[in-house]
Chain A
Amino acid sequence: MDRRYFLKSSGIALASFGLMGAAPEFLHQFANAATLENVYGKKKILVTIFQRGAVDGLNMIVPHGESEYYNIRRNIAVPKPGRNNGAINLDGFFGLHPSMRSLEKFWKNQNLAIVHSSGSPNNTRSHFDAQDYMESGTPGYKATRDGWVNRVLQVKKDDKASPFRAVSMTQQIPRTMMGRYPTVAMTDLRTFAIRAGQYTNSVSGGFEGIWQQEANDRLGETGKDTFEAINYLKKANPAQYRPQNGARYPNGRFGNNLRQIAQLIKAGVGMEVAFTDTPGLGWDTHANQAFGGNGAQGQLANLLRQFAQGIAAFATDLGKKMDDVVILTMSEFGRTVRENGTRGTDHGHGNAMLVLGNSIKGGKVYGDWKGLKSSQLYEGRDLAVTTDFRDVFGEVAYKHLGSKDMGKIFPRYSLNPSKFKGFLS
């Protein structure tokens, strides 16, 4: 039950009780670089990225081998590979949108996999309901209090877990992470602290003292955790962060969120799941998603560029650490297979998810593909869902995070490893 393992078990404990201020700089750095990770050990980490608004999966991962695609997307289709502004070929049938070139090398290194034609068994085309279902992990059932990621943590108990085990780079805890397991939401690492202007240190010290002596009931434990977390972040020194390996995060909040998640990973604060949505990137492209007669340019192209650059920068920045990290992207539903009258697409059904990491059996598009002919579509209009999103979530939870009780994580669904796609071994 005592989760403040760090304070009790490590020599650094002294430092966090006040000696740190007087310690020479090299000691700070020592604490920073070496010790934190040793405390919690190497963790498997899942980074979930939610593309709210429903990305057009058919233009993100282009089925260029499907002639119907070009028949019914006259003005917005992404040209075939080899053509001017053509898709980046992946496997002869699918291709990446050309503005996602930054991800190509991860495909070639077989660290990037796609699960196409995936999504929810529920047919709602409401953003609200579909996001709700994807985050709770119980499509069609609304009264689930907690999110599936929170249940992953509830199921896989860890008495030595860090207060940063689950971090969301959002103002509020997202539905995905809500629940009994304590999680942290923040938008800026630098502001995760007691804030009292010029009196901050004095007030913060006061609070720390008060909570330190509180009994070890839930309230007391959590209070101590809070200050442990604050002190960690101080040591991680977020203001001084420099990305490695020449990684360049795109400007804007999405890039910034990923950069901060990378920071937390490198600081070794014991994080196991991180969440971000894609602030500033509006995927709900009902009109003018493409320009100039094809889908290689225009609104969606710009969005995908930032999206891909963010993920590529993150994976580049982490380098070897990507051995332990899996990035999983999701979006509440796909968009109509046919373009609408305003060079856009409307709310649809099946979509594509990206999975990236050094442990991923990448370079492959997973999932059954039914086709885009009218008769092959869901309700005559949308890409069919052949892979339930829970099969994908489940595989990551089970194989990567080692949280294996699928019945608890996905109630009302019968999930076992035989349903997994196999992008993780």
Chain B
Amino acid sequence: MRARVSAMHKIISVVAFVALFSPIFSINTNAQMMSKKKMGKLTKDQKILHVLNRLGFGAKPGDVEKVKAMGLERYIEKQLNPDSINDSEAQAKLKNFEIINMETAEIFAKYPNPGALLRMLNGNGRNNRRNAQNRRNNQNSEMNPEKSQQDQRAERRQRRRQLIELYQKYDLKPANQIPLQVNASRIVRAAYSDRQLEEVMVDFWSNHFNVYMNKAATRWYIPSYERDVIRRHALGNFRDLVVGTAKHPAMLFYLDNFQSVSPNVNRNNNQRRRAQRLLNNPRAKERFIQRLKQQGLSDEQIKQRFEQLKNGGNRRNQRGINENYARELMELHTLGVNGGYTQDDIKEVARAFTGWTIFDARGYRKAAANMIKDVEQDRQLIRQARQFGISPNTESGTFIFVDRLHDQGPKTILGQKVNEGGMKDGLKVIDILVSHPSTAKFIARKLAVKFVNDKPSDKLVNRVAKAFQKSNGDIKTTLRALFSSPEFFAAENYRAKIKTPFELLVSSVRVLDANTNGGPAMVGLLRNMGEMLYGYQAPTGYPDTAEDWVNTGALLQRMNFAVALASNRIPQTRVDLRQFEARNKREILDKAIDTILNGEISNGTKSTLIKQIDQPLIEPKLADSMDDDSALTMGRNGRRGNRMNRQARLRSPSGNPEVFKVVGLILGSPEFQRQ
């Protein structure tokens, strides 16, 4: 009985199998082609589309024809050599983003760290202490708590006024412009640059070597990081990327290496000397006690303070080795998590990178110097420059190697001795890591996931890894190996990747030939979809597989983005939908499907769309339903106010609703989420 059932099953499945491949069923319209059985070979047009999707951010109208005329192989080779592509059109659109061409120190000066301004308002160095003392005295004289709170509020208001005055007087700009401009410039480049593969690789490497804009001073370093390291080497050599990121203040700050010093260095020598002087000189000691008393410290607290001094000063300032960078360098940047390193290796690598640090890492000095020319120079920094043996004129936020902070002596890394001394220790470590076979495999797999599918075969990975290793980490060679492997054009990988939110946003702009400057509303939508650039906190960077991107809230945001774009709700972004106008709804639909999906749509989606276009657009009863735009974008709970928030708010829909409904639905359809 059982056997018979199973035989029956076999017959049925054989029939089904034959049906799948029989010519009758596969005289396919494009629509049928999409229905899950991507077994045959890709057509020429599909191959071109595939390349435009994977090596770029999707097709603009006319792109397929252009590539066809040029030849697909030649197109790919040109993409691998972005300098051979004239990109003046995109460059012109980038003119408004001054930040991307500015040096870090300039950004510190013009878009200052608010912390630096507050420090200035409080006075610098000595003044700082005096002001604080004055404030304390004022408080002491004011014992009525209610009134004190009023005073405090008044003080805060005054502080805000003073800050605003500073911004106006010196023509300063708010620092939250930095991530907005960086994001906008990337949207514009990805949408309009003909160097598409370069943009894809910038996206790839900036996630591989992720830094997070909201970690303290990291954001001031991002424009230079992207321009001078990531973009510069995006299609160059992998070692240059590792060295470049290792040295760059963005990474040094984000992964704390700038604070990592040899445990043998006592940075508090000065502090300790001063403490000794204080303890040995009775008059100085008495003065110090008086001062502490004035500050309201109890005898017990004063006693403790002296104990602290005897023990070598404030513990907080004592620093040692920080392993964060060393660990991520191996786990995330080179070898991969199972790449064969141990906790001891992490320690040794961390030792090798001690002394790789940043001068004036928060840009305080630059911000202050720019505004008040005769400001007392920050003594602490001048002292530090002297200690570090560097010029006191060193720009804020510059990478420096400080030999006296470096942990000298031999290190053993992955079984190899490293004893080059000074900065060469770190460089040697990088050599060892980038030439390690685990690195080749790790990078090859990651690239295969990016360009081929979420679960690439070992065979493919090994082939690509070999190319990586043979070429000593040449990225072009590695990519060529990937693009020329049979898996790349395999039919089952066609539209097999889910677009990331950034890819969805840019490919939508491209396919509609929309005009955008990537303004705050656009960035806000990108953020809502979950992928504001440099907005990923963990050093892993944004993930790249469907599992990570597809969830309820995120899909809703994708659909809302699609509608917002199609109905021209996004300020500073225009879509001309006249191209889709036609005599009737059915023709509008066909045009939209042809343009946006290259005519490739599942029967189900298509028949639903046909039904949908006949539904009434407005149900009168619900026409006035609340629609709080600010909730969609960056504005906080609809709080009105500054210019940026206003720019971020969406407008009312405009255009022919029959058209934008269809276009919005298609951009938000499952089909368009794939590439």
A interface list, Cβ under 8 A from B: 71-72, 74-75, 125, 128-129, 132, 136, 141-145, 163, 171-173, 175, 180, 182-188, 190-203, 205-207, 209-215, 218-220, 222-223, 225-226, 229-230, 253, 288, 291-293, 297-299, 338, 341-343, 374, 379-381
Contacts and interface: CB of A to CB of B under 8 A. Distances in A.
Contact of A201 (B148, B498, B622, B674): B622
A329 to B, nearest CB: 21
Nearest to A340: B295
B36 A215 contact: yes
Nearest to B543: A145
B538 to A, nearest CB: 6
A171 to B, nearest CB: 8
Interface in B569-600: 569
B479 to A, nearest CB: 26
Nearest to B218: A128
A305 B388 CA distance: 49
Contacts, number: 216
9 contacts: A72-B304, A74-B301, A132-B537, A142-B328, A184-B553, A194-B560, A198-B627, A209-B611, A292-B144
Interface string B287-324: 00000000111101100100110010001100000001
A293 B145 CA distance: 9
A172 B560 contact: no
Contact of A187 (B216, B256, B637): B637
Given A75-B296, A188-B631, 18 more contacts: A142-B255, A143-B331, A163-B552, A172-B527, A193-B556, A195-B563, A196-B567, A198-B623, A201-B622, A213-B604, A213-B608, A215-B36, A230-B556, A288-B152, A341-B296, A342-B132, A342-B135, A380-B311
- Name which of A206, A229, A292 has the most chain B CB atoms within 10 A of its CB: A206
Given A210-B605, A381-B315, A200 B670 contact: no
Given A75-B296, A142-B539, A338-B301, A200 B556 contact: no
Contacts of B628: 188, 190-191
A132 B316 CA distance: 20
Interface in B538-568: 538-540, 543, 546-548, 550-553, 555-556, 559-560, 563-564, 567
Given A199-B653, A207-B668, A291 B637 contact: no
Of all A-B residue pairs in the complex, the 6 with the closest CB atoms, nearest first, are A182-B551, A292-B145, A213-B604, A291-B145, A191-B631, A206-B612
B537 A210 contact: no
A182 B548 CA distance: 8
Given A142-B539, A143-B332, A184-B553, A190 B669 contact: no
Nearest to A145: B540
B327 A142 contact: yes
- Name which of A182, A338, A341, A374 has the most chain B CB atoms within 10 A of its CB: A341
B416 interface: no
B617 interface: yes
Contacts of A187: 631, 637
B143 A293 contact: yes
A200 B550 contact: no
B670 A214 contact: yes
Given A172-B530, A188-B631, A202 B552 contact: no
Contacts of B625: 198, 200-201
Contacts of A141: 327
Given A201-B619, A218-B547, A219-B670, A184 B552 contact: yes
